[in-house]
Structure 1
Amino acid sequence: MNIFKSFFKSSKTKTGFFKPKPKIKLFRYPSLEAPEINKAELSRLIRNTDPDNANKILRNQARSISTAVSLASGFFDTLDSEILGESGFILDIATQNRKLNTTIQNAFYEWEQNCCLHGVYDFEDYEELVLNALYRDGEAFIRIVRGDSLKIELIDADDIDNDFNDDALNIRCGIQRASKNSITPIRYYVKNSERERIGIDAKDIIHIKKPLIAKQVRGNSKLASSILDIHQKDKFKKAELNRARLSSEATGFYTRKDDGGIGDPLKSWDEETGEFLESEEAQAPEVVSVGTMSALDEGYEPKFIDPHNPTNIEFYLKSTNQEIARSFGVSYSTLTGDLREVNYSSLRQGATSERRGFRRVQNFIRRKMHNVIFKEWLLIELLNGNIRPNAYSLVLAHFSFKPQGWEYIDPNKEVAANAKAIESGFKTRVEVLREKGIEYYTYIDELEKEKEIVKKLKEIEDIKNEVKDKDIVDD
């Protein structure tokens, strides 16, 4: 109370009126109190772009970058191998009925080979196409076609008309919503080969996207934040390479010692007449060969071009690649393949963080694509009488898709750590198998096969010992 009394006393003027109390600043934000030199630049940050309006432009830019720049093209190959692995996602049915598990898994595997509506792609192809579209375009559209069997079709994001907007029908960027303030889609408008719009009900479309804001209708490319950096770096690198190439190919040039031009007759002083006399047109060599020298006329002087050696290009390229790698969610060494400064500790730390991000992507694709498609397939099988209702409910509650795992960075240390964790009770064998992307029942089956091999080897060893003992007795 004494503090407040002293505050009010100090605020009172001689006339008996109080001065306005100063505002108490609880927080300070430097961007709101920027100096004049930075205000114009910071004001641009206020003018945000609607992500739906930017979708088409960013998609086209990302598609160009993904094929024109080797680093971006290699990133998509890395993405496929790290997230999908050798065989993509594997269906795992874990009911108590192993015969039912095997039957459903085999039936779904057969469907995967013939899932395409047009008979062109298999399910692994669709996994790769969807993954690339999700990163490059920011979204992927899968059409579900129900009939005697389930069929799927991948719709190009460019065919969902971004320019089709109708406020009266609640259509935005080619997608019709239930109401003005709703984000629930009810129809997608797709352009066919004649560029005509065809409406497809939302129940027949799987729209996979990772929005920036909840009310966003379309997705944005994962490359969006790094497109400018990739483009500038690529142009800078090519410009420096072209400059260095021209510098290496153009050895030098010739100059005249007097004021004449190249190819003009040379002038010489005649002491008898006291005048300049023009000699024949001098010839300057145009081609320089390695290990040879040519004689020049008296009036010419060679000038050699200094080789072009940019000083900071390596630092610029490396720092830019590090920023791009961070934007992509991978390590610098994974993006560029540069392992010169990598040791075990840094490699392990980078791989751990990187793989955690890859697992998130695997889980996202599994939830948005695989689970939805499998439920649709299972329902079609039920309606066609291929499985019984009780089996349908059982499978629906016990299915999952197993993504691929990763190899150990240091097998000795990591296997020993897992063994210690299992022994201490912090981990189970099933958990370790899951981390490696190994199906439990597949592992059990492999152990059974291993037992058969061990049994056969023991039988062979026993036969050898019997023969050996018999030979000793005969001797």
Structure 2
Amino acid sequence: MAFLFNIIERLFKRSGIEAGGGGDRWKGAAVLTAPQQQTLAARGASKARAAALYLNTALGNRIVECLASALVGKGWQARPQHPDPAERRALSEAFEAVTRPIMLPLARGVVRDGEAFVQLVVGEGGTFRPKLLAADQIDPSLTRDLGNGARIVAGIEFDAADQVVAYHVLRDAPGTPFATYSAAVRVPAQDMLHIFDTLFPGQVRGLSWLTPVLLKLRDRDEASDAMLMQLKVASLITGFIHDPDGSAAGFAAEDGTMNVALEPGAMRILPTGADVTFSQPGQGLAQAIEFLRAQDREIAAGVGLTFEALTGDLGEANYSSARVGMLEFRRRAEAMQQNLIEAQFLRPLWKRWTDVRALAGELPVTPTDLADYHAVRFVAPGWAWVDPQNEVTADVAAIAAGLKSREEVVAGRGRDIDELDEERARDTMRPQAAEVPA
């Protein structure tokens, strides 16, 4: 009895910090002792698997498209702060024309591959073109010590002060048709933008946003396929005839063949001891479907989406729950917008773009004038209204109370307040249609 009590006591006793303890329950658990190295080692496999699930599974595709559209939406607006309104409009339109073609592919790359690289190509005559590169085109196999503290890690070159000074780029992306192997080209850091979410200090390359759910996504897709095949097979209703004496159990036709056709209203008289049973397809399907829904919720949580956004299933959603989930998703999306798209892509791209145009003689080159061209604000894409009437009423009240400005509200809708005021002015000045006499 004492021995049993000691076992129970050891099972339920808790002391110290369990996360740092040992025991059988921690056997086989994954640990990250060197996250910088381990994320780098896992980058290639997770990227390739995420790309396959993106193209081959409905949920994988949905995750990438939802998160990418949340990052860039219908497009970002550049709002130059130049004092000349005409110059502001020209700069905004020219910059958006440069960035618009690559914004959505870039966002897909950030989510699916974990990172995106944009090479800033300056051609003859000062032509400027941002070129989106495949992630593996920055040579992930190139790692070596350059001496005196400088080094190359996975194609990215650092100096002794741990600053990125260059990227080593393959001439062709791996797998490109007719590509030939050649040494990587060293591209200065000022001509390359690297967009990725840093998970750990010292992390060099990005990790796919699907990493937390890749294994579960694959298992979930295989389970769904298995259930579908099971249902297709089970739907072929099968009858089993039990005939103890071998007399065909009343199913023998006049010509001696077996007639087991199922016809509406048919009556069969079976001899004593014989019976017929049928398979029952679809048993347990409801429980399996509910289990898959639970897996979908875990997958949604792992990638920062709501269950409704991941599956498109609004059957259990109501207005309050949908709004709470959407607000939480927007909070994370806005953080990624500001820290990735604006800070790592748009702002450095704008500065490089204006500098190149100034060097090409397209913009004034005096320090004062160039500072006016460097000044810019970016307006993220707005979110669709959930409850237009109540939200507009709340915004109007906030503006009247001095809690918000018109510019803040308009920017939150993804609009440029200058464009909005111009449109309103045109509406005011537009002559009213002449009344048609009765």
Amino acid of the structure 1 residue aligned with 2:17: Y
Counterparts in 2 of 1:82 and 1:166: CA distance versus 1, 3 Å? closer
Q: Is residue 332 from structure 1 mapped to residue 315 from structure 2 by the alignment?
A: no
Counterparts in 2 of 1:185 and 1:232: CA distance versus 1, 3 Å? farther
Q: Is residue 171 from structure 1 mapped to residue 152 from structure 2 by the alignment?
A: yes
Distance 2:258 2:265 in 1: 15
Structure with larger Rg: 1
Which residue in the other structure is 1:153 paired with? 131
1:395 to 362, 373, 384: 373
Counterparts in 2 of 1:284 and 1:408: CA distance versus 1, 3 Å? same
Kept after mapping to 1: 8 A contact 2:67/2:111: no
Which residue in the other structure is 2:176 paired with? none
Which residue in the other structure is 1:225 paired with? 212
Q: Is residue 212 from structure 1 mapped to residue 186 from structure 2 by the alignment?
A: no
Distance 1:420 1:249 in 2: 63
Distance 2:412 2:276 in 1: 69
Q: Is residue 92 from structure 1 mapped to residue 79 from structure 2 by the alignment?
A: yes
Amino acid of the structure 2 residue aligned with 1:217: V
Distance 1:340 1:351 in 2: 16
Q: Secondary structure at the match of 1:373?
A: helix
Distance 1:236 1:90 in 2: 43
Q: Is residue 186 from structure 1 mapped to residue 160 from structure 2 by the alignment?
A: no
Q: Secondary structure at the match of 1:368?
A: helix
Amino acid of the structure 2 residue aligned with 1:92: R
Q: Is residue 124 from structure 1 mapped to residue 100 from structure 2 by the alignment?
A: yes
> Pairwise mapping of residues 257-296 of structure 1 onto structure 2 (< 5 A)?
257=244, 283-284=257-258, 291=264
Which residue in the other structure is 1:275 paired with? none
Which residue in the other structure is 2:403 paired with? 426
CA RMSD for the aligned pairs?
A: 3.1
Amino acid of the structure 1 residue aligned with 2:315: R
Q: Secondary structure at the match of 2:170?
A: strand
Kept after mapping to 1: 8 A contact 2:68/2:111: no
Distance 1:141 1:46 in 2: 27
Amino acid of the structure 1 residue aligned with 2:144: D
Counterparts in 2 of 1:80 and 1:162: CA distance versus 1, 3 Å? closer
Amino acid of the structure 2 residue aligned with 1:195: Y
Q: Secondary structure at the match of 1:249?
A: coil
2:113 to 129, 137, 142: 137
Amino acid of the structure 1 residue aligned with 2:185: G
1:305 to 259, 275, 279: 279
Kept after mapping to 1: 8 A contact 2:65/2:108: no
Counterparts in 2 of 1:382 and 1:32: CA distance versus 1, 3 Å? closer
Amino acid of the structure 1 residue aligned with 2:138: I
Which residue in the other structure is 1:435 paired with? 412
Which residue in the other structure is 1:55 paired with? 43
Deviations 1:216-263 (CA, angstroms, capped at 9, x unpaired):
2211000000111111111111111111110002523556535x8xxx
Amino acid of the structure 1 residue aligned with 2:392: V
More contact order relative to length (CA 8 Å, sep ≥ 6)? 2
Kept after mapping to 1: 8 A contact 2:239/2:277: yes
Relative to the length of structure 2, the TM-score reads 0.82
Amino acid of the structure 1 residue aligned with 2:304: G
Distance 1:249 1:362 in 2: 52
Amino acid of the structure 1 residue aligned with 2:41: N
Deviations 1:259-313 (CA, angstroms, capped at 9, x unpaired):
x8xxxxx799xxxxxxxxxxx9964468x56638597998986442121322422
Kept after mapping to 1: 8 A contact 2:139/2:184: no
Distance 1:161 1:252 in 2: 62
1:314 to 280, 289, 292: 289
Distance 2:117 2:255 in 1: 74
132-141 or 204-213, which deviates more: 204-213
Relative to the length of structure 1, the TM-score reads 0.76
Distance 1:285 1:294 in 2: 12
Counterparts in 2 of 1:187 and 1:415: CA distance versus 1, 3 Å? closer
Distance 2:425 2:404 in 1: 23
Deviations 1:158-184 (CA, angstroms, capped at 9, x unpaired):
2333233334573322333324x8352
Distance 1:424 1:196 in 2: 64
Alpha-carbon distance, 1:445 to partner: 0.3
Q: Secondary structure at the match of 1:45?
A: coil
Counterparts in 2 of 1:165 and 1:96: CA distance versus 1, 3 Å? closer
Q: Secondary structure at the match of 1:197?
A: coil
Amino acid of the structure 2 residue aligned with 1:141: F
Alpha-carbon distance, 1:378 to partner: 1.1
Deviations 1:44-65 (CA, angstroms, capped at 9, x unpaired):
4366661101100100111111
Q: Secondary structure at the match of 1:200?
A: strand
Q: Is residue 101 from structure 1 mapped to residue 88 from structure 2 by the alignment?
A: yes
Kept after mapping to 1: 8 A contact 2:116/2:194: yes
Q: Secondary structure at the match of 1:460?
A: coil
Distance 2:257 2:136 in 1: 62
Which residue in the other structure is 2:31 paired with? 45
Kept after mapping to 1: 8 A contact 2:43/2:207: yes
Q: Is residue 410 from structure 1 mapped to residue 387 from structure 2 by the alignment?
A: yes
Kept after mapping to 1: 8 A contact 2:72/2:380: yes
Across the two proteins, how many residue pairs are aligned to each other?
Answer: 402
Alpha-carbon distance, 1:142 to partner: 1.1
Which residue in the other structure is 1:12 paired with? none
Which residue in the other structure is 2:57 paired with? 69
Distance 2:211 2:259 in 1: 53
Amino acid of the structure 2 residue aligned with 1:31: A
2:330 to 355, 362, 372: 355
Counterparts in 2 of 1:302 and 1:214: CA distance versus 1, 3 Å? same
Amino acid of the structure 1 residue aligned with 2:395: N
Q: Secondary structure at the match of 2:31?
A: helix
Counterparts in 2 of 1:216 and 1:296: CA distance versus 1, 3 Å? farther
Name segments (4+ residues, structure 1) moved above 6 Å: 294-301
2:18 to 30, 34, 51: 30
